[in-house]
Structure 1
Amino acid sequence: MDEIDGKGAMDWLRAELADTRDEDYEIELEDVVLSRRVRRIYEKAHPPSLERRDYFHELLRLQSELIKLQDWVAHEKKKVVVLFEGRDAAGKGGVIKRITQRLNPRVCRVVALPAPTERESSQWYFQRYVPHLPAGGEITLFDRSWYNRAGVERVMGFATEAEVEQFFHDVPEFERMLVRSGVILVKYWFSITDEEQQLRFLIRIHDPMKQWKLSPMDLQARVRWEQYTKAKEEMLIRTSIPEAPWHIVEGNDKKRARLNCIDHLLTQVPYGPIAQEEVTLPERVHNPEYERRVLPDELYVPKKY
């Protein structure tokens, strides 16, 4: 312990905090390789957002509350499900990343299911989602959910109108069952304008680090904007129930959308303080007969940096 006492301990702590800040900045890097033309268009379309200092101050404050929420859920064995829906590039992934950034992945996990297999397509529609629902003490964030049937499946013709109508009939009762079983169910729709989605798609096209986010389905979503709008409006009206209402997040300003969503989520779970046991670091046991083995060089990762 003497080796890291006093000034050495403070220097080590500052270095650790600096690394943490670097991680925060890294996760916030956006518009990395934009063409000048797209950058000018994007900046012209957006009023000044929050100052970085103010944004990080609020984000860290909210994330500290999310840790308290997590501890309460784990201690009280509660079950929390949060659905994130919205158009492509609406910002769902960004807010999910900020929610989970400092949480325990054993408590809070993200579910983003691929397209159903042939076998899953023959099952009861909700069946593929049920195994991912939380047990007591867990939080599950669905990056898209069973509402695919009312959105992409309907608009792209992957579901018949009869199947969609059956979904509208079934989903309120399915969600009431979840709530009756003790699940805290929160549903978010991220809303952006036509122009904003176009700009974000242009960014993805011009930024090699984001091109993977664009799929042929996303491009078709641009073509069928009005069909998606009509489908979304009917979905929100027919599936917003007292037990599980929809909450719309205005997403054109990414930073404000993230903060607003996290702040609202904290109000939807009645968490409270949990008494924490004091943690003390035990002394290491030293065995004078133990000698650390020298391992072969080929086992080590090359030191390129």
Structure 2
Amino acid sequence: MAKKVSSKTTVKRVPKGPYKAELKRLQVELVEMQRWVAKNDARVLVIFEGRDAAGKGGAIKRVTEYLSPRHVRVVALTKPTKRERGQWYFQRYIEHLPSKGELVLMDRSWYNRAGVERVMGYCSEEEYQRFLRQAPLVEQHLIEDGIILIKYWFSVSDDEQQARFAARLEDPMKLWKLSPTDLESIRRWEDYSRAKDAMFAATDTPGSPWWVVESDDKRSARLNSISHLLDSIPYRHLDRPKITIPDRPKADDYERPPIEQFHYVPDIAADLGKK
């Protein structure tokens, strides 16, 4: 787990200008990578794990920002239903695996069992130990079947996490991120540290390693994780088809119906300049 730092420690952050320039370059490469994935029927699964407020969601958003929704999916499952609790634990995740030509990003995954379920007592000791035994085997089978599997752990210090929680409290658009479980993670910092260490010991395998992303600086975390993701997929640039935009034909005898027949949304934007 990330080392604790003093509250007086200043996080060295990537300047905004260089960050935006490098992010744009990487996002162009992501588009090229996705074209290769789609063309070659590749299947890519990327797991994003880490503490609450570690920056997973922001990184996922930057990855998918300019990608085609036809070939990329973000999976962020809610707590299991009664029916799902009666299934094999991995079953509800299996149905979300990528098909040919797809990139799937999991915002938390089956590793919930080794993290929040373990710490909060949502699973039994037997269920937890069974998960630690089965997870490496499940991932080995996925990889043997041809899925490119990449696992990221976003590591954030306790002081930075605390600061981000405080910022969410003041932001009405982020209040939904402060669930009781999120807040409880502050009190159970050491318990989560032990759970993460045990998870790594059992599931950080040569064939499916964990890649740690230092995320006290969100900009660095985004650039580093996207760069590594691109390096982990054997894509190449494909020739672009030549596209010609046709001339618009001259209008024939079509007449547009009167605008009074349609329902238009109120133009509140027009009033903004009057204030």
The structure 1 residue matched to 2:259, chosen from 281, 292, 295, is: 295
**Greater CA drift, 47-56 or 215-224:** 47-56
CA-CA distance at 1:296 after TM superposition: 2.6
Separation in 2 of the partners of 1:286 and 1:153?
A: 64
Quote the residue 1:119 is aligned against: 83
The structure 2 residue matched to 1:186, chosen from 132, 141, 150, is: 150
CA-CA distance at 1:298 after TM superposition: 5.5
Matched, 1:107 2:91: no
Query: After superposition, what is the alpha-carbon deviation per residue over 1:204-255, rounded to whole angstroms, capped at 9, x for unaligned?
Result: 1122221111100101111111110000011012101122110000010111
Structure 1 gaps, min length 5 = 1-40
Quote the residue 2:51 is aligned against: 87
Structure 2 gaps, min length 5 = 1-5, 270-275
CA-CA distance at 1:262 after TM superposition: 0.5
- Superposition pairs for residues 16-165 of structure 1, below 5 Å? 45-165=9-129
Separation in 1 of the partners of 2:11 and 2:195?
A: 30
Give the 3-state SS of the residue equivalent to 1:150 in structure 2: coil
CA-CA distance at 1:297 after TM superposition: 6.0
Separation in 1 of the partners of 2:187 and 2:86?
A: 29
CA-CA distance at 1:286 after TM superposition: 3.6
CA RMSD after TM alignment: 1.5
Quote the residue 2:192 is aligned against: 228
Q: Which has the higher helix share?
A: 1
Give the 3-state SS of the residue equivalent to 1:200 in structure 2: helix
Separation in 2 of the partners of 1:48 and 1:233?
A: 26
Query: After superposition, what is the alpha-carbon deviation per residue over 1:39-90, rounded to whole angstroms, capped at 9, x for unaligned?
Result: xx99x64344222110101000111111110000000010000000000000
Query: After superposition, what is the alpha-carbon deviation per residue over 1:106-152, rounded to whole angstroms, capped at 9, x for unaligned?
Result: 11110000000010000010110111111110000000000000000
Separation in 2 of the partners of 1:150 and 1:215?
A: 19
Give the 3-state SS of the residue equivalent to 2:90 in structure 1: helix
The TM-score with structure 2 as length reference comes to 0.93
CA-CA distance at 1:295 after TM superposition: 3.3
Separation in 1 of the partners of 2:24 and 2:254?
A: 44
Give the 3-state SS of the residue equivalent to 1:85 in structure 2: strand
Separation in 1 of the partners of 2:207 and 2:138?
A: 11
- Superposition pairs for residues 217-296 of structure 1, below 5 Å? 217-296=181-260
**Greater CA drift, 244-253 or 291-300:** 291-300
The TM-score with structure 1 as length reference comes to 0.84
Q: Given that residues 14 and 217 in structure 2 are in contact (C-alpha distance below 8 angstroms), is that contact kept between their aligned partners in structure 1?
A: no
Corresponding letter in the other structure for 2:52: D
Question: Which consecutive segments of 4 or more residues in structure 1 shift more than 4 A?
Answer: none
Corresponding letter in the other structure for 2:258: V
Separation in 1 of the partners of 2:186 and 2:57?
A: 19
Aligned residues: 264
Separation in 1 of the partners of 2:209 and 2:46?
A: 12
Separation in 2 of the partners of 1:270 and 1:95?
A: 21
Separation in 1 of the partners of 2:38 and 2:262?
A: 42
CA-CA distance at 1:287 after TM superposition: 4.7
